[in-house]
Amino acid sequence: MKPPRPPAPRLDDLKPELKRIERRLFLRGGLSLGALSLLTGCDLSTDSGIDRALWAMLRFNDRVQAALFEPNRLAPTYPASAITRPFRFNAYYPEWQVRTVGTDAWRLEVGGLVDDKKPWSLAELRQLPQEEQITRHVCVEGWSQIGQWSGVPLHIFLRRIGADLRAKYVAFRCFDDYSSSIDMASALHPQTILTLDFEQKPLDPPWGAPLRLRIPTKLGFKNPKHIAAMTVTNDYPGGYWENQGYNWYSGL
């Protein structure tokens, strides 16, 4: 037997309910549109609560990435045939503004938590053990290219100058007014090198002459060129891009 057909509700009965739903939707829509227009203004440069939250998330991401970092895991290496040519120039200024320095007069200053603060000449650096690598340089912008670098492994240099290897940071100051800093664990990674050569020739000015850092476990902007001074420290040093909002750790 068919059940009796229920009386169809009339539209009038539903109207108050529909009104309530409509009002709720309108409020929600207004809120989210307003919120979106507020959010799109958040670019890490303001003092708004959302920008502060974004900075806090960046610090949280630093800790997550440090935990993910495996000290003995090597960045993939490539055959010489994979090297990108021509290699792309990149800095915070155009190529014609590249600064140069007399290589004889140049010294690497060393400071902070180290035993031996004697400055280093290029010739002295060349006498230390050298290491070569063909690795992928990944830019924060998303593009990448494969290059060949060689120089002194940073862990060898840090031990040679009697650095406090329990310190938190190694900071670099460059004579083109650039700066950057890395965590000690990454500084001690076997592929992190104080680079003297690019494609087996002494660095040319566009590639960071006379000394740059090559660290294939981090994004390109963490590979400072034209290094003038290195400091081992426990005080967060920041860096040129890092201070403007690029994620400090930026590990790969």
Residues that bind other proteins (CB under 8 A): 3-4, 6, 8-9, 11, 14, 21, 24-25, 28, 39-45, 53-55, 57-58, 60-61, 68-70, 73-76, 136, 138-144, 216-217, 241, 244-247, 251-252
Give the nearest distance from C-beta 215 to other proteins in angstroms.
10
* Cα four-point dihedral sign 120, 126, 128, 131: positive
Contact 147, 98 (CB under 8 A): no
Give the nearest distance from C-beta 133 to other proteins in angstroms.
13
Question: Which CB atom, from 209 or from 222, has the smaller least distance to other proteins?
Answer: 222
Rounded distance between C-alpha atoms, residue 193 and residue 217, angstroms: 11
Question: Which CB atom, from 175 or from 246, has the smaller least distance to other proteins?
Answer: 246
Give the nearest distance from C-beta 28 to other proteins in angstroms.
7
- H-helix segments, the chain: 11-39, 49-68, 122-126, 154-160, 184-187
Question: Which CB atom, from 27 or from 159, has the smaller least distance to other proteins?
Answer: 27
Indicate the residue type of 241.
Answer: W
Question: Which CB atom, from 144 or from 233, has the smaller least distance to other proteins?
Answer: 144
Indicate the residue type of 239.
Answer: G
For residue 110, give the nearest of 194, 50, 48 by alpha carbon. 194
